[in-house]
Amino acid sequence: MIPRRPALVGLTTLPFAAASAPRAASAAAPKAGVAAPGFHRIRLGEVEITALLDGGMRMPEANAPRFFRDYDEAVVRRLRERAFWVEGFLHQPVGAYVINTGRHLALIDCGGADWFFPGTGRLHQALAASGYRPEQVDAVLLTHIHPEHALGLVDGEGRRAFPNAEVVVSAQDHAFWTDPAMESRVPQGPRFIQAARRAVGPYADRIRTFDAGRETEVLPGITAVPAIGHTPGHVSYRIASGNEAMLIWGDVTHQTVIQLANPRWRLAIDVDPDAAVASRLATLAMLAAERMLVGGVHLPWPAFGRIVPDGEGYLFVPRPWQL
């Protein structure tokens, strides 16, 4: 006789036998509950660029009509469906970039502080996870002096968090955001001025300024590019090595899905909303024409990608992870 039946019995009972055995340890592991410090590293010519995740900000969707002067609810509803975003809140990642040229270690922006914007302030954990120490940083290059871009300059006691770094920032932004007289004149009120002074004040003898009105090479291979409007001296930084280049922007967009689809929408928080629109249009047109790699402080994490035309606006296409 062919022993067919015992073999079948064996096969069919195996899964049940496995199910009744003690559970594998992995199935009962506690949920971690917290995200790992985020960093992602790429190579651009001879330069290493590491994106760091400082955290994120959540804006109640109900606040969006006050954030955008030209808000159109029907347009945003269509974008929300297309982008699959969670209803109720608009999420805004906060990042920063480490640029290692081989000669200099520079940070472009440096994250926020959770006492100012809850959900931000983890840059230093991400920096450590990425293999760098704060004392190795030679320069912090600021796109502008807003809290979630600059408060990482100081620790909880208001001391320099980067003891050997100079702070490089446009003369226009430095003058504007450190002037107490501006407390009553900026869209966000005195808190933003006070935060800016707290961030850059301890570096008073290590500040290097440049004119945001024209391109300036601030370190070999790293050039400040005008993007004025969000703040009086807002800039992007272009990094070039060999025949490769990328642009890292600060706040050319905050809500990437909405603002790439509607690049002409003015923001209530911009110091000069019309100039900011002009800067956004010029930056996006250049990136699309050049097919240049782009990074941005509030772009979807890990914030490396390209800008492509899409109808009246643009789309962000994330850079595929490649060995």
User: Smallest distance, Å, CB 297 to Zn ion?
Assistant: 6
User: Smallest distance, Å, CB 14 to Zn ion?
Assistant: 57
- Give the Cβ contact number of residue 133 at 10 Å: 11
175: part of which helix (H) or strand (E)?
A: helix 171-177
Distances (CA, A) of 277 to 82, 119, 154, 223, 274: 24, 28, 31, 22, 5
Q: Which is nearer to Zn ion, 47 or 228 (CB)?
A: 228
- Asked if residues 282 and 234 have their Cβ atoms less than 8 Å apart, the reply is no
Q: Which is nearer to Zn ion, 231 or 241 (CB)?
A: 231
d(CA 250, CA 257): 16
User: Which stretch in 39-47, 106-114, 247-255, 307-315 sits in contact with Zn ion by CB under 5 A?
Assistant: 247-255
Q: Which is nearer to Zn ion, 40 or 146 (CB)?
A: 146
Q: Which is nearer to Zn ion, 44 or 248 (CB)?
A: 248
d(CA 246, CA 44): 8
The residue number with the shortest CB distance to Zn ion is: 251
User: Smallest distance, Å, CB 254 to Zn ion?
Assistant: 6
User: Smallest distance, Å, CB 57 to Zn ion?
Assistant: 9
Q: Which is nearer to Zn ion, 76 or 297 (CB)?
A: 297
Could you tell me how many residues of this chain bind Zn ion (CB under 5 A)?
1
CA 54 to chain centre: 8
- Give the Cβ contact number of residue 7 at 10 Å: 10
| Positions 254 through 273 that interact with Zn ion (CB under 5 A) | none
User: Smallest distance, Å, CB 234 to Zn ion?
Assistant: 10
- Asked if residues 222 and 238 have their Cβ atoms less than 8 Å apart, the reply is yes
Q: Which is nearer to Zn ion, 47 or 225 (CB)?
A: 225
Tell whether residue 251 is a contact of Zn ion (CB under 5 A). Answer: yes
User: Which stretch in 189-197, 243-251, 269-277, 280-288 sits in contact with Zn ion by CB under 5 A?
Assistant: 243-251
210: region left, alpha or beta (phi > 0 left; psi from -120 to 50 alpha): beta
Tell whether residue 173 is a contact of Zn ion (CB under 5 A). Answer: no
Binding mask 193-232 toward Zn ion (x if CB under 5 A, else -) reads ----------------------------------------
SS (H, E, C) 181-245: HHHHCCCCCHHHHHHHHHHHHHHHHHEEEECCCCCEEEECCEEEEECCCCCCCCEEEEEEECCEE
User: Smallest distance, Å, CB 187 to Zn ion?
Assistant: 13
Q: Residue for token digits 């501006």? A: 182
Tell whether residue 109 is a contact of Zn ion (CB under 5 A). Answer: no
User: Which stretch in 17-25, 64-72, 182-190, 248-256 sits in contact with Zn ion by CB under 5 A?
Assistant: 248-256
Q: Which is nearer to Zn ion, 38 or 93 (CB)?
A: 93
Distances (CA, A) of 240 to 73, 178, 244, 289: 40, 31, 6, 17
| Positions 67 through 106 that interact with Zn ion (CB under 5 A) | none
Q: Which is nearer to Zn ion, 101 or 255 (CB)?
A: 255
User: Smallest distance, Å, CB 96 to Zn ion?
Assistant: 11
DSSP classification of residue 63: G
| Positions in the binding site for Zn ion (CB under 5 A) | 251
